[in-house]
Amino acid sequence: MIHVITAKNHHVYAEALTEMHRLRRMHFVEERGWSGLMVRDGGEYDAYDDDKTVYLLSLDQDGRVGCSMRMRPAETGSILTDVFPHLVAADEPPLARPDVWEISRYFAAPHCRGRGGVSRQAEIRLAALEVAHACGVNRLIGMIDLEILPGMLSASGWRVRTLGLPAPYQEGTAQAIEVQVSRGAIIDMAETFGIEAAVAPVGS
């Protein structure tokens, strides 16, 4: 199950969040070689780790982090609009709206990759739709490396469309995407992956 962490229950998940930031450092800094990221106390952090952020964590019975995703309202700023606005076509609707959230820092720990991690990765993607829909969000936006995009389009269970043409950045080539949030999208994805509910009950 996916645990939803906000400013209100942040203190309950302090240990898991520390582990999440450590895994972010390992994945994005060490494995993918992203330069310019801020590392402190062994973890990776940035300006979008604030009190408006919602973290989705896939935790096992021992509290170990398997997958993680970050979500926050695009109306108050986003990596896509603040840092990579050139990835969004000029004729796209505005993204800085209350019904648009950005997803970022999505990763799977080594033990949740490959076939063994398919279910947990699907759960966190479904949880993103569930949480966004419950908050009145219609669109999730983000950027994705071009080599990952085909799998996202064909096998993620998300209804994805691109927002502009791909463009190079320091560590590769990226493209902006939008994920549709709707009750129908949630039902379809749940049925595709055989998931009844992705979000863990409060207090679990």
d(CA 162, CA 144) in angstroms, rounded, equals 10
pLDDT-based confidence at residue 202 (cuts at 50, 70, 90): low
**Terminal Cα-to-Cα distance of the chain (whole angstroms):** 9
Q: Are 66 and 108 in contact (CB under 8 A)?
A: yes
Q: Are 81 and 137 in contact (CB under 8 A)?
A: no
d(CA 98, CA 76) in angstroms, rounded, equals 9
The fraction of the chain above a pLDDT of 70, given in percent, is 98
Give me the pLDDT at residue 1, please.
84
pLDDT of 204 strictly over 60:
no
The strand pair at 172-180 and 139-145 is best described as: antiparallel
The mean pLDDT value for 157-163 works out to 97
Q: Are 63 and 134 in contact (CB under 8 A)?
A: no
d(CA 145, CA 106) in angstroms, rounded, equals 12
CATH class name, domain 2-193: alpha beta
The mean pLDDT value for 98-115 works out to 93
Tally of residues, the chain: 204
Give φ, ψ of 39 to 5 degrees.
Answer: -115, 125
The strand pair at 100-108 and 139-145 is best described as: parallel
pLDDT of 201 strictly over 70:
no
d(CA 71, CA 180) in angstroms, rounded, equals 14
pLDDT-based confidence at residue 126 (cuts at 50, 70, 90): very high
Helical H segments across the chain, by residue range = 14-24, 79-82, 118-134, 149-155, 183-193
